[in-house]
Structure 1
Amino acid sequence: MPEPKRTVPLAGSERMLVPGARVLRAAHENEWLEVTVRLRRRRPLPSVDDLGMRPIHQRQHLRHEQFQTTYGAHPEDVSQVEAFAAAHGLRVQGKELARRSVVLGGTVSSFNRAFSTRLMHYEHPDGAFRGRVGPLSLPAELEGVVTGVFGLDTHRLIRHHPRPRPLRTSHALVTRELPQVFSIPDLATLYNFPEGDGAGQCVGLLEFGGGYFPEDVEQSARDLGLPMPEVVAVSVDGVRNTPSRSKDPRSSQGASTGEVELDMEVVGALVPLARQAVYFSDFTEKGWVDSLAAAIHDTENKPSVLSISWGFSEMDSIWTPACMEEVNELLQEAATLGITVCVASGDDGSEAQEQDGYAHVVFPASSPYALAVGGTTLLANGGAITEEKVWNTGSQLQPGGGAGGGGISAYFARPSWQGNAQVPASVNPGHRLGRGVPDVAANADPYTGYLVVSKGERGAVGGTSAAAPLWASLIARLNQQLGRPVGYLNPLLYASLGRVGCNDITVGTNDPTFGRIGGYAAGPGWDACTGWGSPNGQRLLATLRGTSEQGF
C-alpha cells in the first residue's frame, strides 16, 4: 500500500473564528465551490522603489505581454496544480499565467480532503457565511508553489459605505442646511487641477456588490453639462452590475449602489472623456484577489489608474496573512505596469471601525504600493479655499460621526521612502514603527460634501470614498498632460513632490473618540491624518514635468 503523501501547512492560511460567529452546521458535502489558487511568480520582481524614484520621463514600465512571460506563473507550476486537482477530484475551470491563478471547481467534500480542512456554515450579525478555522494543508511538493487559496470562505468583509448628510433634500435646501457643499467640478477648481478631460485614459473602479443605474450617471453628467461617460462593466467571478434602489441601511446592495454611483460620478465629472472600467466582484477575500488581478492585468481596457473606495482594518480575524500578501503583491505588480492605485483610508479615523480600545489603519490603503487617500473638511469662498482641516466629526457610533482614516500600520514595515517624513511611532502599546497612512487627502466631510445623483435623488455625500476617485481623476489628467502614466507615485511624493504639490493641512486630529483610544494630530509637513495634504494639481504637474515656476 503506497505511503500517504506528506503535507505541509499553507503559509498565511490560518483562519480564526470571526468574532460574533456561531456554528450552524457542516457545509453539505455535495455543495459546489469554485476556488482561486494563486501561484508564485516565475522570478522576483525588480525593486519598484527604484522605479518610483526616477523622474517620470525616465521610467520604463513593463508591458502586459512582458509581465506575463517574465513574471507570470510558470507553466510547470500550473501543471503541478492541475495534477493535484485531478488527484483530488477537482476540475480546472480556468487558468491565467499573467494573473498567476488557477480556478478549481469541486464539491465541499473534495475540497475538504484536498486541503485537510472542514468547511462549516456560520451565522453572524452581519450575515451568514461559509468558513473554516485553522490553516490549510498542501502536498509538500507544492510548498512555495502555491501562495494562496481563496474561495473556501465566504465571510463578507463589512465596511461603512459613503456617508450621506443626515437628511436628503433638494439642492436648495442642502445649501442652507449644511456649511457648504460642492459640485464636483468646483472641487477641481479649488484644488487647481490642470486642464484635461481624460481623453485617451482609462480609470478602473473596483466595486464589491451593488451597481449603477445608467440614468443616474447620465443625469449627474447632464446636470453639469457634460457627456455621459463611456462605461465598461466587467464581471469578475460572475458578479454583475446589480443596482438596488433600497434605502434600508441594512441592504448591502442598496448601500453598495451608492458607493458605485459616487465613484463613477466623481470620475465622470472630472475626466468626462475617460473610459471607466468598473470591475464588479464579491466583498470577500476571493473577490479582492480576483478583481484586483483582473483590473491590473486587463489587456483590453488597460487602466492607467485604479480607484478603490473599499477596505477593512488590519485585523487578523478578518484578513488572512495570505490574502494581505496577495493583494500587496498585486499592488506591487500594478506599479511595474505603470498603474497608480488610489485607495480610501477609511471614514472612522484612528478607530477604523473597531471598538477594541486600540488605534487601527485600513487595508489595502496601508499597503506601501497604494496611494492612500485621507479626508478633510473644506470651506471655500469666491473660488478659493478659506479653511481646510482634518475631517473629524466624532465616532461612527454618533449621528453624523466620521473621520478620515490614518495612523501606523501594524502589518507593513515603514518603507524607505518614508524615512525622512517624521512618521511617528504607533500610539498603541509597543509603539511600532510601521508604514504611515495616508499619503494625501481631499475633501471628505459629508457636511462639506459632493453633490451627486443616486437612486434617482440628488444629495450631498462625503467620505474618503469620494476623495479616492477625486485623486484618481487628477492622476488621469496628469497622465493625459504628460503623455505617459505617472505610475507608482509614493517615492517621489515623499522625496519632494508632496511638499510642493499639496496644500499642507495643519489643524485637527483623527481620534474620533477624542482621547479614549488615541490618534494622530495634523502638523506641518506629512502627518498621519492627511498625509502631505490636499492636491494643488498645477503644481503637481509642473513638478512632475521637472519645471519650476515663480512662487514654488
Structure 2
Amino acid sequence: MNRSIIGALSAAVVAVGVLTPAASAAPAPQAACPDAGPGLLRCLTTYTPGLAHTLVDDPVGWGADDLASAYRLPAGPGPDTVVGISIAFDAPNLEADLATYRAQYGLPPCTTANGCFRKVNQQGAAAPLPTANFGWALESTLDVSMVSAACPSCRIVVVEGNSPGFADLAETEDTAVRLGAKVVSNSYGAREGGAPLAYASHYRHPGVTVVASSGDSGFTAASYPAVLASTVAVGGTSLASDPDSPRGWAESAWTYGGSGCSAYIAKPAWQHDTHCGKRTVADVSAVAEDLAIHSTDAGGWLPVSGTSASAPFVAGLYGRSGRAGVAQPADLYARASQFADIVTGNNDPAASGKKCGGDYLCVAGPGYDAPTGVGVPNGLTGF
C-alpha cells in the first residue's frame, strides 16, 4: 500500500493532474453524497476530489491483501453466496471498475458473463437503469470492492434505486432478496425518526442477514437502517500496520464512525449494555478509513473512507462464512469472544470523548462499546 502520496498532499495541492508546491492547503476530503433532505438517505463515503488524477494506476489505501491479513481470512475462496447491494442511482462503469480492483489483488473475475455479477433496477430488470450519479456511483464501487475483498467467491447482485428516497431503497432491499441474496448490504443512512421507520419491515426478511453502516458523524442520533433490531449495525475503525503486535496490526475506533442510542427502537434482548435504555449502535466493526478502490469517474485509483466500507466488508464475511441468512445480530453477542476487541480511540474527537461523558457510547474500551461493538473480525468464526 502506497501511503506516501497521501502524506505529501499535506504540503501540496492538485493542479492539472500533478502535484505542485502548496501555496494553500491541500484539498480536503468531502462527502461523496451531500446531506440528504427530508425523506432521503445519504451514502456514507468520503473522498478527496482530484486525488485520483495524481495516482492514475497506483493504488493508495488498504487493499484486499491487507484486509485478508488484518482479519485473518482463510486462504480458500469460500462459497458462492449471493450478496445483495442496495443502492441508489446507476454506476455506469461499475463492472469495469470491479474488474480492475479484482485483477489488481489477484481475485478471480466476477462478471455478468460468468454469472458472478448482476446489476438491475429496483424492480429487478436489467433495463432501464436509473440515472447516473457520481457520489452514489463511488459508493457502489466501494461496496462491490469490499464484498470482493471479503468473499472472492461470492456472487454480487447490485440493485439500483431510482432515488435515495425511503420507499425506493426499501424496494431495492426487497428486490435483492427476491433475486436470491442471503445477505444484503446497505451503505447509507438517515437520522432515525417516524418517516424512515415506517419502512422498517423491508429490512427484515426471514432467512436473510441484513447489514448496514452505522454512520459517519461520530456519536450522534442513531442512524437508520442500522438502528433496526433486525439489522447488523457496522461501525468503523482506523487500521495501522504493527509488526510488534501479535496480530501484526493495530486498530482503534475511527474518529467519524457512527454510534448512538436509539430514541425509538426497544432494547433487544441480546444487548445488555447499561447506559442506553433502547437499541445501541453499533454491533460490530471493521476498517472504515483509507480503502483503495478504482473509480473511472474519479480518474483512477483513490483512497476512500466511511462505514460504507466496513458494512459491505462484513456482509461479504457473512457470505464467506456459510452462515449468511442464518446469522442474525444476536449471534454476534453470543460469539463476542471470537472477535478482536478494540480498546482505544473515540468518535467524539472535538470533546475527546466528553460529549457522552467519556462513556462507552463514544469511547472504545474493553468489552462492548458503541463505536466498535463487540470488536472486529478475527477470522470467520464469529459470523
TM-score clears 0.5: yes
2:257 alignment partner, SS class = coil
Q: State how far apart, in whole Å, the 1-side matches of 2:366 and 2:242 are.
A: 24
Partner of 1:340: 209
Gaps in structure 2 of 5+ consecutive residues:
1-33, 111-115
Partner of 1:407: 260
Q: State how far apart, in whole Å, the 2-side matches of 1:386 and 1:405 are.
A: 22
1:194 alignment partner, SS class = coil
Partner of 1:231: 117
Residue 197 (structure 2) aligned to one of 324, 327, 331: 324
Distance 1:417 1:463, change over 3 A: same
Matched, 1:510 2:347: yes
Shift of 1:195: 4.0
Shift of 1:211: 1.4
Q: State how far apart, in whole Å, the 2-side matches of 1:341 and 1:461 are.
A: 23
2:77 alignment partner, SS class = coil
RMSD, aligned α-carbons: 2.7
Q: State how far apart, in whole Å, the 2-side matches of 1:538 and 1:473 are.
A: 11
* TM-score for both structures, normalised by structure 2: 0.78
Is the Cα contact below 8 Å between 2:67 and 2:149 reproduced in 1?
Answer: no
Q: State how far apart, in whole Å, the 1-side matches of 2:68 and 2:75 are.
A: 10
Partner of 1:122: none
Is the Cα contact below 8 Å between 2:154 and 2:320 reproduced in 1?
Answer: no
State, as a whole percentage, how many aligned pairs show the same letter: 31
Q: State how far apart, in whole Å, the 2-side matches of 1:386 and 1:285 are.
A: 38
1:354-407 deviation line (CA, Å, top 9, x unaligned): xxxxx3110000001101000001111459443211111xxxxxxxxxx00012
2:99 alignment partner, SS class = helix
Partner of 1:435: 279
Distance 1:384 1:532, change over 3 A: same
Letter in 1 for 2:253: V
Partner of 1:364: 225
Q: State how far apart, in whole Å, the 1-side matches of 2:217 and 2:42 are.
A: 10
Consecutive aligned runs of 4 or more in structure 1 exceeding 3 Å deviation: 165-169, 171-175, 237-244, 381-386, 515-519
Q: State how far apart, in whole Å, the 2-side matches of 1:126 and 1:509 are.
A: 23
Q: State how far apart, in whole Å, the 2-side matches of 1:308 and 1:369 are.
A: 13
Partner of 1:476: 319
Residue 192 (structure 2) aligned to one of 304, 308, 314: 314
2:42 alignment partner, SS class = coil
Residue 159 (structure 1) aligned to one of 42, 58, 62: 42
Letter in 2 for 1:364: P
Shift of 1:271: 2.2
Distance 1:442 1:423, change over 3 A: farther
* TM-score for both structures, normalised by structure 1: 0.55
Rg: which structure is higher?
1
Is the Cα contact below 8 Å between 1:243 and 1:254 reproduced in 2?
Answer: no
Matches within 5 A, 1:347-426: 347-350=216-219, 359-382=220-243, 384-392=247-255, 403-419=256-272, 422-425=273-276
Partner of 1:537: 379
Gaps in structure 1 of 5+ consecutive residues:
1-124, 130-154, 176-180, 245-252, 351-358, 393-402, 426-432, 542-552
Q: State how far apart, in whole Å, the 2-side matches of 1:215 and 1:493 are.
A: 35
Shift of 1:215: 1.9
Shift of 1:516: 7.5
Q: State how far apart, in whole Å, the 2-side matches of 1:468 and 1:348 are.
A: 15
Is the Cα contact below 8 Å between 1:205 and 1:307 reproduced in 2?
Answer: yes
Letter in 1 for 2:74: P
Q: State how far apart, in whole Å, the 2-side matches of 1:295 and 1:195 are.
A: 28
Is the Cα contact below 8 Å between 2:242 and 2:250 reproduced in 1?
Answer: no
2:216 alignment partner, SS class = coil
Q: State how far apart, in whole Å, the 2-side matches of 1:423 and 1:208 are.
A: 37
Matches within 5 A, 1:165-314: 165=48, 167-168=51-52, 169-170=54-55, 181-213=61-93, 214-229=95-110, 230-236=116-122, 241=129, 244=132, 253-281=133-161, 282-296=163-177, 298=178, 301-314=179-192
Q: Which has the higher relative contact order, 1 or 2, with Cα contacts under 8 A spaced 6 or more apart?
A: 2
Shift of 1:539: 3.8
Shift of 1:241: 4.4
